Chain A
């Protein structure tokens, strides 16, 4: 089955850029997602990228996809203390038999220091 891996921790200064990395194994994944989890809350969709795209920009967020290496990254420009949260990478299995199923990475805990 699909395996999604992320580094567990990232610490940055306020105003710097943050880059969170993710790798996945299933090349048939159609959509790749970034979810954000704030303390004590559920997950919220932050952004996504379709597998035939290399890059997607959405305000302070930039998603880069290297399909050949199965590598996904999320860049947050001008990181703020309010961006401190856990960020999850997720890949769908729409290209396989488990329609609608998402496989999540372990989550990256982003800590932003003033």
Chain B
């Protein structure tokens, strides 16, 4: 089954404790992206990657890091989480060209206390 998986689905952590949210897709997609969803703000792009070893900042990259060492995986790293990073995070992937349906993961709800 074609899908995007994220882990963990729920995470409660404390300020400053490094964490990683994993994302994996099995569709051989070139393009992967991380979004955060906040009430009234919709989805805002954090980082995206157009291919292996190619990553770029989205609209709200501060406080986040990503890596793309393999095509299928695109982890999101919070080196020193802060309460303003409490949000719902979505990973998405797509072919990255033309008419381009983005496939979304189920989301990771992160709470930073």
Contact = CB atoms under 8 A, between A and B. Distances in A.
B34 interface: no
A42 B90 contact: yes
Contacts of A30: 98
A6 B90 CA distance: 20
Contacts of A106: 40-42
B100 A31 contact: yes
B107 A42 contact: yes
Interface string A64-90: 000000000000000000000000100
Contacts of A42: 4, 90, 104-107
A105 B44 CA distance: 9
Given A8-B40, A42-B106, A100-B31, A1 B59 contact: yes
Given A31-B100, A42-B106, A100-B97, 10 more contacts: A1-B59, A4-B42, A42-B104, A43-B92, A94-B98, A94-B100, A100-B33, A100-B96, A101-B58, A104-B35
